[in-house]
């Protein structure tokens, strides 16, 4: 092995250790801040008890790193079925004989200790799981994703605030001068990736997609704009809703984003136990796909397709290439995007000018997940890896794709190609959207 490759291995080892440690620190923060009774209780049938997430991340880490990569025997085979997400839906999990909090924490520490030993000796070659440290990257992303899931549980949980009050992110100096929309030129671009080392199977392979010229909002739709839709009777007018959307709106009694309520003449929202007036300049959040779609139609626009969203976020007309992130190929940093649960809320619309895409759109990465009009489908040439249940079993029209990541997503689990998916009725997630419009022939 050349010296350069050895240095690369050392750097990769260091990066993996840092990602694993960072995710675990977040897990600890989100589970140490509540009483034991709060950890074992189910706060919503949509969510697992926090103590399930705690042991599930350790169990997946054991499965993929100690057993698959390290060839070890299962540590406690009897607990495997309890933490298999496919064996027990979330609503069933509180009835299982789960490990109590102290045992779950001890299990996590035991697995992590062995994983760090394994990492010390690991060579990042010889198998597809080990190449580029993929299995370690997958496990770090998995725990980071559960850190977001656990933050959603905190958002749903009632009772006094236990996390620090959501601090407003950096306001942009030029918000009032920003154009409402930007033009993305038509033509082919590279969607997905075949080179991003820790990209998951559904992001692969890279392929060419031809997208017609379109406009996309410079920023996510704000609470102020969304409040106008409400004030204009948007929730009471079936013209703006799809048939399924209207039916759901009526059945679920939707009148405003989740966690919004009326306080006299103003809207207030509750986040992590703190209630405050809705900020008009903040991206709207906790809306389902049906609400996003209805708003877009009311505004005379539409949701972007997934391909349009990715082209806006990644395509660089100067080089004809697709970037890893809107701002380029460098990893996310604090001045580029609102990620990693730093602020516990989206930053005001127009923030992070340094993180803008070549087309001029801002906040494509971080702040809020953005609903697209697209169903969750495989890319041409898709191959399930390393297991079918990661993505393949979810492909189909029941799920809509969300892009870009929220303030709650760790940088390790967020990039220009990353795809999230959920049911069109879901809104406990940190979901917002931006709208798009096809360009007329004068722009073609
Ligand atoms: Fe999981």
Its pTM stands at: 0.96
Q: What pLDDT was estimated at residue 323?
A: 98
**DSSP 8-state code for residue 20:** H
pLDDT at 1: 42
Cα of 40 from ligand 1 centre, angstroms:
17
What is the whole-number distance in angstroms between the Cα of residue 344 and the centre of ligand 1? 22
The pLDDT value given to residue 91: 86
Q: How far is the CA of 85 from the centre of ligand 1 (A)?
A: 6
Q: What spacing in Å lies between the alpha carbon of 355 and ligand 1's midpoint?
A: 30
The percent of residues above 70 in pLDDT, for the chain, comes to: 98
User: How many A from CA of 57 to the centre of ligand 1?
Assistant: 7
| Nearest residue to 219 (alpha-carbon basis) of 368, 332, 333 | 368
- Residue with more model confidence, 167 or 277: 277
Establish how many alpha carbons lie within 13 A of residue 78's alpha carbon, considering only the half-sphere containing its beta carbon.
Answer: 4
Q: How far is the CA of 397 from the centre of ligand 1 (A)?
A: 22
Predicted pLDDT at 7: 57
In the reported structure, the alpha carbon of residue 389 is separated from the centroid of ligand 1 by a whole-number distance in angstroms of 11
- Per-residue pLDDT of 171-221, as tens digits, reads 788 888 999 999 999 999 999 999 999 999 999 999 999 999 999 999 999
Question: How far does residue 352's CA lie from ligand 1's centre (Å)?
Answer: 31
Mean model confidence pLDDT for the chain: 95
C-alpha of residue 114 to centroid of ligand 1, in Å: 20
Look at residue 95 and tell me whether its pLDDT is greater than 50: yes
pLDDT, position 442: 80
Work out the pLDDT band at 112, boundaries 50, 70, 90: very high
Beta bridge partners of 188: 210
- pLDDT above 60 for 74: yes
- For the cut 90, the answer to whether the pLDDT of residue 167 exceeds it is no
Ligand 1 centroid, distance to 59 Cα (angstroms): 9
- How much distance in Å is there from the Cα of 56 to the middle of ligand 1? 7
- The answer on pLDDT for 169 being more than 80 is no
In the reported structure, the alpha carbon of residue 323 is separated from the centroid of ligand 1 by a whole-number distance in angstroms of: 28
Tokens of 152: 């959603």
How far does residue 285's CA lie from ligand 1's centre (Å)?
23
Please, which pLDDT band fits residue 6 given cuts at 50, 70 and 90? low
Instruction: State the distance from the centre of ligand 1 to the C-alpha of 142, rounded, in angstroms.
Output: 6
Contacts 24+ apart (CB under 8 A), 6-14: 9/123, 9/124, 12/124, 12/132, 12/133, 13/119, 13/120, 13/122, 13/133
Region label for 337, one of left (φ > 0), alpha (ψ between -120 and 50) or beta (otherwise):
beta
116-125, 158-167, 393-402: segment of lowest average pLDDT:
158-167
What's residue 440's pLDDT? 81
Task: Look at 240-244, 273-277, 424-428, 430-434 and tell me which has the smallest mean pLDDT.
Answer: 273-277
Find the 71 Cα to ligand 1 centroid distance in Å. Answer: 21
Tell me how far the alpha carbon of residue 391 lies from the centroid of ligand 1, in angstroms.
12
In the reported structure, the alpha carbon of residue 143 is separated from the centroid of ligand 1 by a whole-number distance in angstroms of: 8
Mean per-residue pLDDT, 61-69: 97
Q: Is the dihedral of CA 263, 266, 269, 270 positive or negative?
A: negative
Cα 111 to ligand 1 centre (Å)? 16
Start-to-end CA distance of the chain, whole Å, equals 52
Q: Distance from the CA of 128 to the center of ligand 1, in angstroms?
A: 21
Q: Please tell me the distance between residue 1's alpha carbon and the centre of ligand 1 in angstroms.
A: 36
Average pLDDT estimate for 249-264? 98
**Ligand 1 centroid vs 99 CA: distance in angstroms?**
16
Contact residues for 410 (Cβ-Cβ < 8 A; gap 6+): 22, 23, 26, 141, 144, 147, 148, 339, 340, 341
Distance 73 CA to ligand 1 centre (A): 21
C-alpha 391: how far from chain center: 15
Q: How far is the CA of 105 from the centre of ligand 1 (A)?
A: 17
Cα-to-centroid distance, 132 and ligand 1 (Å): 22
Contact between 279 and 267 under an 8 Å Cβ cutoff? The reply is no
Taking only the tens place, the pLDDT of each residue in 353-398 is 999 999 999 999 999 999 999 999 999 999 999 999 999 999 999 9
Average confidence (pLDDT) over 93-113: 96
Cα of 144 vs centre of ligand 1, distance in Å, is 10
pLDDT of 5 strictly over 70: no
- Res 3 pLDDT > 70: no
Euclidean distance between CA atoms 214 and 178, whole angstroms:
18
Q: Give pLDDT, residue 160.
A: 84
Per-residue pLDDT band for 2 (boundaries 50, 70, 90) equals very low
């Amino acid at each position: 092995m050349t010296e350069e490759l050895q240095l690369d291995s050392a750097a990769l080892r260091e990066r993996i250790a840092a990602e694993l440690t960072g995710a675990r620190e977040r897990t600890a923060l989100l589970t140490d801040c509540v009483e034991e009774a709060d950890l074992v209780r189910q706060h919503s049938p949509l969510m697992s008890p926090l103590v399930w997430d705690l042991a599930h991340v350790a169990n997946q880490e054991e499965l993929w790193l100690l057993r698959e990569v390290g060839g070890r025997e299962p540590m406690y085979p009897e607990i495997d079925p309890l933490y298999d997400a496919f064996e027990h839906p979330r609503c069933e999990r509180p009835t299982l004989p789960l490990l109590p909090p102290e045992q779950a924490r001890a299990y996590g520490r035991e697995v992590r200790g062995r994983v760090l030993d394994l990492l010390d000796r690991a060579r990042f070659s010889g198998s597809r799981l080990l190449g580029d440290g993929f299995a370690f990257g997958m496990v770090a992303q998995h725990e980071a994703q559960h850190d977001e899931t656990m933050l959603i549980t905190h958002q749903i949980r009632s009772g006094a605030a236990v996390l620090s009050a959501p601090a407003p992110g950096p306001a942009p100096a030029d918000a009032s001068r920003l154009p409402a929309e930007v033009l993305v030129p038509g033509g082919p671009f590279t969607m997905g990736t075949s080179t991003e080392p820790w990209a998951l199977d559904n992001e692969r392979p890279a392929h060419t997609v031809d997208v017609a010229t379109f406009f996309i909002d410079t920023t996510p739709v704000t609470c102020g704009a969304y409040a106008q839709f409400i004030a204009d009777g948007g929730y009471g007018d079936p013209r703006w809703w799809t048939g399924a959307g209207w039916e759901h709106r009526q059945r679920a009694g939707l009148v405003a984003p989740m966690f919004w309520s009326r306080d006299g003449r103003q809207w207030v929202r509750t986040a992590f136990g703190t209630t405050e007036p809705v900020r008009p300049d903040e991206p709207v959040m906790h809306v389902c796909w049906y609400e996003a779609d209805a708003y877009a139609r009311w505004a005379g626009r539409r949701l972007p397709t997934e391909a349009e969203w990715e082209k806006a976020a990644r395509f660089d007309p100067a080089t004809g290439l697709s970037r890893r992130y809107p701002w380029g190929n460098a990893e996310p940093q604090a001045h580029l995007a609102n990620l990693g649960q730093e602020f516990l809320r989206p930053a005001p619309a127009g923030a992070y000018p340094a993180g803008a895409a070549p087309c001029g759109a801002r906040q494509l990465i971080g702040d809020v997940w953005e609903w697209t009009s697209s169903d969750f489908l495989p890319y041409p040439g898709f191959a399930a890896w390393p297991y079918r249940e990661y993505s393949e079993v979810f492909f189909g029209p029941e799920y809509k794709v969300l892009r870009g990541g929220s303030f709650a997503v760790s940088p390790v689990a967020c990039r220009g190609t990353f795809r999230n998916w959920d049911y069109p009725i879901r809104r406990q997630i940190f979901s917002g959207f931006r709208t798009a419009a096809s360009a007329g022939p004068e722009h073609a």
